[in-house]
Amino acid sequence: MADQRGLSASPDQKAVLRRAWPHMRPHRRGIVGALALSALATAISVAVPAVIGAAVDQLLAGDRGGLAVAVAAVCVLAVLRLVAFRQSEIQLATVGERVVRQLRDLAVTRLSRAPLRFLEAHPSGDLLRRTTTEIADLANFVRGQLPEALTVGGYLVFTTVLLLGYSPLLTLALFAVFVPSVVWVLRTFKKAADPAFAAEAAAAGTVASTYRELVTSREMLRTSGGVGFWRTRFLDDTRQRYRAARRTQRALFLISLSRVVQGITTGTLLLVGAELAARGHISVGTVVVFVLATRQLFESAAQTSNLIGQAQITLVGMARLLDLLEVTAPEPSALPRPTCGGGPRTAAPGVLEVRRVSYSYVAGTEVLRRLSVTIGSGERVGLVGPTGVGKTTLAKLITGLYEPDAGRVLLDGVDLRALPAAELRKRIVLVPQRVHMIQGTLLDNLALVPDAPGEERVREAVNRLGLTEWVAGLSSGLSSRLGRGEGQLSAGELQLIGLVRAALVDPAVLVLDEATADIDPDTAWHLETAIDTLRADRTLIVIAHREATIERLPRTIRLDHGSALTDS
């Protein structure tokens, strides 16, 4: 099995910001502007206690004029602070939204281009959560908590500078008690929180995956009586999630120990401050400045307890998103791309060669082993074999949806891995066993091919395949609505949609993975007519379940276990 990097349920949370920086770099000017505004707003807030302290000293000295100036200064500062805070919040939210939108677009683009093998190897509920809920958490954090976090950080820095300016000795006493205790609380919290938050995010991903399984497999679960089993599993998953959530709550409790630290610090401050004031080293106003400034500091610490919890959730989500972006980053192909001068060399159908191809889904269990087969340009071939032998796997390798673990697949002498993805999708088309539909009209569904063909081209393709009557038989023809809660089509009819899409692309090679042997006679007739009317010079490979199909095709290849091929 070829090396495949997989997603981790609890990915590395180290250096998340450094790893995220390349995604933020294009917005650095906006980020710096928002940070500067936030710093200004915080500096204004920190200046308020200093002005009040000055007012107290002027009051004690009986200077009424100075007192009036100080009062006016407090009012002006309050207005300035409001304006600066508001502006910094707006700027931060704007730039944050831009970064989040870019991350969301990138995640969706990378997922849409990720190899099929990668998508099949991961529960879709987990992929969905990483690209929706966890990005939404990030957006909420940027809008709600990031401005607060910046303010708290700013308070710490500016308050320290202010207090050092008033009394280095009292500042020293304050920080000697406050800093080591807070650092201890934060370190203890982080030790408990890192695994706890990661486990909760992973448990939430599992719940989403299990729930999605019910939604997508509801019919099978009902008919097979498997709902009870599924419910037990779902309840187990939610129980796990509950346990994980309790663990994060316990971790969050640790952070509230900072309130005890606050009490001890205020006591120390009053004792040392009163002593210094009594000895005439500092004024009463300075003690007032310290008390007011540390109140702000403590308020910041109280906010920190909420913020750290939110930040931790965001950090885990960010780590999981970065994990997805890093794992799905396009790797430089080892194979040479076609040069501009030469252009794609597969304009004609060309010979399709499968050369000593091996493929496994699970390490150590090869589904196909050193399989070789050559299909001539324009040949029509039926591929048959016992169920589970690897016919669909071979079809996905022939159409470039899977890359072989060993060996090569060549069209007209060009390795499929050397063809640009858009070129490959036009040259070789697979109509899978289960054709997927989107919510919309039949026309919307038929036109789901590159180049967005209009109604006229779709009608022309429908006519060419002899399907006009079938379309007319639907409730509103091409305007019939399909999808959940609306019109549903049988597996055979869905394949007719796949065939029309293929006819619109008009590929050099068409691979049809026939839906079932038990197709109803009407749909079978439509399917066969459509296959027969596809352009005769195209290569056609049908994974055939029905005798009637095999009889109509001039060559049959039989695939047996161990990748033995028999031609007839």
Residue ranges binding ligand ATP (CB under 6 A): 120, 361, 367, 385, 387-393
Q: How far is the CB of 317 from ligand ATP (least distance, A)?
A: 28
Q: Which is nearer to ligand ATP, 229 or 361 (CB)?
A: 361
Q: How far is the CB of 224 from ligand ATP (least distance, A)?
A: 18
Q: Which is nearer to ligand ATP, 263 or 388 (CB)?
A: 388
Q: How far is the CB of 227 from ligand ATP (least distance, A)?
A: 24
Q: Which is nearer to ligand ATP, 242 or 361 (CB)?
A: 361
Q: Which is nearer to ligand ATP, 304 or 399 (CB)?
A: 399
Instruction: State the number of CA atoms in the 13 A half-sphere of 448 facing the CB.
Output: 15
Q: How far lies 544's CA from each of 10, 253, 429, in Å? A: 43, 63, 16
* DSSP codes, 7-70: --SS---TTHHHHHHHHHGGGHHHHHHHHHHHHHHHHHHHHHHHHHHHHHHHHHTT-HHHHHHH
Q: Which is nearer to ligand ATP, 122 or 391 (CB)?
A: 391
Q: Angle at the Cα of 323 (from 319 to 329), degrees rounded to 5? A: 140
> Do residues 163 and 172 touch, judged by C-beta distance below 8 A?
no
Instruction: Tell me whether residue 257 is exposed, middle or buried, using C-beta atoms within 10 angstroms of its C-beta: 0 to 12, 13 to 18, 19 or more.
Output: middle
Q: How far apart are CA 173 and CA 399, in angstroms?
A: 73
Q: Which is nearer to ligand ATP, 339 or 387 (CB)?
A: 387
Q: How far is the CB of 502 from ligand ATP (least distance, A)?
A: 19
> Do residues 101 and 40 touch, judged by C-beta distance below 8 A?
no
Q: How far is the CB of 106 from ligand ATP (least distance, A)?
A: 26
Q: How far is the CB of 385 from ligand ATP (least distance, A)?
A: 6
Identify the H or E element spanning 362: strand 352-362
End-to-end CA distance of the chain: 31
Q: Which is nearer to ligand ATP, 134 or 213 (CB)?
A: 213
Q: Which is nearer to ligand ATP, 132 or 392 (CB)?
A: 392
Q: Which residue has the tokens 């780590």?
A: 319
The β-bridge relationship of strands 481-482 and 509-513 is: unpaired
Q: Which is nearer to ligand ATP, 196 or 395 (CB)?
A: 395
Residue 410's nearest CA partner among 422, 392, 397 is: 397
Q: Which is nearer to ligand ATP, 137 or 513 (CB)?
A: 513
Q: How far is the CB of 363 from ligand ATP (least distance, A)?
A: 11
Q: How far is the CB of 112 from ligand ATP (least distance, A)?
A: 18
Q: How far is the CB of 300 from ligand ATP (least distance, A)?
A: 52
Structure tokens at 336: 């040479």
Q: How far is the CB of 489 from ligand ATP (least distance, A)?
A: 20
Instruction: Tell me whether residue 229 is exposed, middle or buried, using C-beta atoms within 10 angstroms of its C-beta: 0 to 12, 13 to 18, 19 or more.
Output: exposed
Q: How far lies 362's CA from each of 61, 270, 370, 395, in Å? A: 84, 68, 16, 18
> Do residues 493 and 523 touch, judged by C-beta distance below 8 A?
yes
